[in-house]
Chain A
Amino acid sequence: MPEIRNPNLQTPGTPGGSGGGGDMRSTMAFFVLMLAVLFGYQYFFKPKTAPIAPTQTQTQTQSQAPQAGTAPSQTQWAPAGAQASGTAPSIVATSETETTVENELYKIVFTNRGAQVKTWILKSYKDTTGKPLDMVQPQTAARFGLPLSFYTYEPALTAQLNQVLYQASATGTLLAPNSLTFHYAAYGLDVVKTLHFDSSYVISIDTEVKRNGSPVRALVQWPAGLGDMEEFRPGKAPTGSILTASQFAWLIDGKSDQQVAAKVGGNATLNEPYQYAGISDLYFAAAFLPSVPSDASVVTLHNTIELPGDLSDPSSTKKPANVIGLAVGDQSGSNSLRLYAGPKQMDVLNTIHSIGSDGKADGPTLEPLIHYGWLGIVAKPLYIALRFLHGLLGTGINNWGWAIIIFTATFNLIMLPTRFVMMKSSIKMARIQPKVDAIRKKYAHLKMNDPKRADMNAEIMALHQAEGINMVGGCLPLLVQMPLFIAYFEVLSNVIELRQAHWFWLTDLSLPDPFHVLPILIILSMFLTQFITPSPGMDPAQRRMMAFMMPVFFGFILWHYASGLALYWGTSNMINLSFQLIINNTKDGKELHAIAARKAAKKLGSGRGDQRTIQGRR
């Protein structure tokens, strides 16, 4: 409080100051600096990074043995560090077969070579080229391994486990619910991988690896990224699209956290009670849920792959891209896991519970995999409201664009009374502006720290009161509007439902307008609004600057970011514009225009007064 005096600060105010103005050049320099700081903050703090280094680094093994590429025949495999026991019967397959498992949501193709996943198609989603979305990234999988392969601490064993031909319990196409077992037994090894499928995105995995009868710790891995990773998008990334690097995300003891790909350690073993651990990119995730979290063991995998800087041009300079993966299992050696591989969609993730402390599947859900950016407190309710509206619209006009428009319109109508009062007040303010200017001029020679300044403010206040000006709304409209703008931004760039959501000519609400219609419309409407809005107490130069700069500034932003954002801003703009028009036609508004016109006429000389002159040229 101002009244409380800090005894350490008995210095009298440094006299003078620069009288408020400062010299213009240093001021401008400072302005630029401030902007730089702001943008710098945005740039560096945008990805929510958890600077948590892998906590328990137990073993640092060598990099994984190359698994793919050579593909030698299985007979070549020597017993990996084990005595061949001739007594056990061999269970091996003689040829490579494929098994396809399908339900309404996915179509997974397994190969019996290594009992791994070749492709994992999500039927409800398409990639940017319009093909069904594959959760397996072909380029990285070819180099670093396929999902559901094994990870062990012995490269030779890993290679063997992932290269031999297993005997599959079924080939051809299976329809979920179903189960599939891969079995391999030879050279003292006995490996069983059992998979269960139901109608959800989740599959359950049970594995057991034994060497000469004793269990070997072999974790199940999702080794190399997801199919939707933006680094691999064909063609140049659209301007303004946000590159969300893959993340390693986990949940321990009910607390979720994540780490950006670049900071994920390679081959670090983490023995923590993981309720889930997975990798996720902007819209999709693959997360393992251990059946016994207290015995869970996670190995993070980090590789880099050289990608051409411009993917449409293979000869462009290559730059490294991070590819992360993970292996999850049980410390005992036989694993029991569930795996979620699918979209980061709230409804879906909320139905998937991790294993709680009582050993039942009632722990926290996978929902923390979704991030709403740094303004999540506003963005998440906004998303829920939009989703509610979207559901309300029914199947007939099942469209997110309309949900955005309706929400914006409703919101603006709620804000209308405040807005109305504010607009009336500013009209009154404009009327008394000459008097206020006169008072200010009277005191203009005083320095900022002159106690007589108080008299000036008292005088202005008295004038306001006499005219009945009531600024009760204060900065409320603004304080509500800006966070909402940012929240829209976050929702549009993070929520999967808005990915590839279309509205008339907009093909994807999370990407910029392909035909530039909305930004142009917004610039025009903003300019018009500026032009017809009375804003007292601004000098003409300032006013002209604002009338041009603000629309250009917003237009630029909206040009480069999600078109859904432009849809919101445009709707809200149109409503405000029409409302301002109505206000301007009221008695007060007309009077004000008359004042403005008179002033303009006086300035330009009596003969050339244009009766239609509006505020902008006051």
Chain B
Amino acid sequence: MIKRVPSLLNTLFRSLLLPGIVAVILGVFIVFSLVREEYDELQDMALASKAHLLLQVFEAQTKPGDITALQGDFRPLSFEHDLLDADELTQFWVLDAEGHMLLHSTRLDDEILTARIAGGFVTALGFRITDATTQDGSLTVVAATPMEERNEAIRDVVLGVITGFVLLGFLVAGAAYVAVRRSAAVIVELSTQIESKDAHDLSPINRTNTFAEIEPAIDKMDTLMARLDAALKAERAFATNAAHELRTPVAICLAHVQRLRTKLTDTDTSRSAADLEQGLKRLTRLIERLLQMARAQSGLGVGASAADIAPVIKLLLRELRERVPSPEMLVVTEPQGVWMSNVDPDAIGIILNNLFDNALKHASGDAPMIVDASTHGLIVISNDCPALAPDEMAAIKQRFSRHSKRSAGFGLGLSIVQELCEQSDSTLELASPCRGQTRGFSARVTFSVSEGK
């Protein structure tokens, strides 16, 4: 099973989003706790102050007997009426030493008195309750404020904090998204540039938009590509130089042996010279195949600049005509018009000459070899021979695999053709018997071509 590679953008975004949400929740919770604690403390102090203030007023200015005179118009902190709703007002009770109610504010709920804890704060029946008592215990003021007001204030604070955090979160997330996108775009551009590199383009990477953090990686990449470029150039140069260095000595030997044969009169010696000549010719063919293989492995078939390949094919067909023993043994249909293609001319030469060699070598001789280039981009080379078995068909593209053990070939030709076709985005289809027939072998090569001008 192939492991799916995660996207950098998604990974970065997820990595930032999750901690961001947790940070917002945690922030809201901490702010809520602190605000609630401080606010409660302030409100409790305010409530206690009101109770103590009233107590001191009653204790200092009013005789106990006179307190009842205030009964009808007891409105301490009357300013609250202008600021608060009726259900938000603080309520008061004034009790004597026995706990009898001397005075109380409007909207009285006497059950609150039963819930109070003397000298402390308590929350009950939707109120925050406290009291203040004179030193002699003669008067007690009980004050109670509705919790709803406090809770509303806390809710407003928390809502404000949450709104602030969410807005901040969106802002930070947006900024992070843009930053991540921009950073990822640099990585994507770098990746595209690296992806576009091949045997024909190993130029240094464009650094107009990079980061300091990835510069060392680009430096390393450029160094590696420069080394690869040098290695490929050396490999191609080797194939070219080796052609001269290997072919010339063999040419010298072959020429001398052929001259020697004309001078020899002794039968045995002549036969030896003939064997030597055959061996040299075989060595020539082997050198040719090995040089082709070296060129294929150095990426000869990888995109050249676009050019019309029809003249190249015509030249190869002209050379083929010179190789057949008699003109009637070859039927050729030449390419028409322009075949614009990126396939290297030398790769085309190696591909077609190998297929021509194959057809000439294995043709039965009962029917002509046919080369049909009438379809734009397609060349079909076919020859007459007994049909090949499926296992033979499967084996012939393998390196060092021969169609026949008695064949004079090395079993390299078709594997070289296959490799060059793959490199040049061309396709090679082999068939035996030929389509619609019971005999024969055909090779169809489709080059990637356009019409061009």
Q: Decide whether A and B are members of one complex.
A: no
Q: What residues make up the interface of A, taking CB atoms closer than 8 Å to B?
A: none
